[in-house]
Amino acid sequence: MSDEYQTSGEYLHLLSEPAWQALRTPVALALRDAAGDATLLDVGAGTGLGTEVLAAAVPDGDVVAVEPSPVLRAVLLSRLAARPDLRRRVTVVAGDALGVDLPARLGAVLAMNMIGHLDPDGRRAFLRRVAERLAPGAPLVLNLQPPTEPTPVPFSVFGTVPVGHHTYEGGGSAEPSGPDAVTWRMRYRVLDADGTALREDHADYRWHVIPADALLTELTEAGLTGEIGPLDVVRAVRRT
């Protein structure tokens, strides 16, 4: 299986940290009522920024972090290795949302920044898989990301992070690539102190878009009740 993060994996953790500074509080709030006697699952765990929030929701809980990208798993494992408190209770699994074997009972599911990687059939299958395993009151937490329609997105720089004498920069644009998808064209650069680009990398990936009301409908069809909170963080629980 090819790794679509083979190029961007070098940059992703650095450039994601500022966004997670903002996401941390709404995600933590959405994870309320996570069940400590069942497995906590992070799907599309990436480099573990969300895994840390999930683990903090139940300080003694058993966590499974699922990530298909070898590059991102390498970063995730290296970060866990530096955290003895997480190293003993976070299990990293090479897999994806549809192929990984899920525990029979889930105390919470985190699926941040990944739902657009699934096509509509895959997305609905994933929601059903999760819904039938969630403990009563346990949340599924995910997020919506723009665009929610297959419309063009002009290029912009998403963020810059200084490291030593260099600055790491990420940006991108998107173009429609079907009735429910866009293709993101990402540009990553390493800049010298005077702004000169020392290196430039590019990566494309397809992202399946969905409007908020359509996602809420799909959650209902899967047997869940969803609500959208700050920063488009979505929380859903099984209907009683």
Rounded Cα distance, 200 and 192, in Å: 12
Rounded Cα distance, 172 and 203, in Å: 9
State phi, psi for 50 to the nearest 5 degrees. Answer: -75, -30
Tens digit of each residue's pLDDT (9 = 90 or more) over 119-131: 999 999 999 999 9
Q: What percent of the chain clears pLDDT 70, i.e. is strictly above it?
A: 99
Reported pTM: 0.96
157's tokens:
């720089």
State phi, psi for 182 to the nearest 5 degrees. Answer: -130, 160
Rg for the chain, CA atoms, rounded: 18
Tens digit of each residue's pLDDT (9 = 90 or more) over 49-95: 999 999 999 999 999 999 999 999 999 999 999 999 999 999 999 99
Tens digit of each residue's pLDDT (9 = 90 or more) over 4-34: 899 999 999 999 999 999 999 999 999 999 9
Inter-axis angle of helices 49-57 and 9-30, nearest 10: 20
Pairing verdict, β 197-208 and 181-191: antiparallel
Torsion from C-alpha of 193, 195, 196, 201, nearest 10 degrees: 110
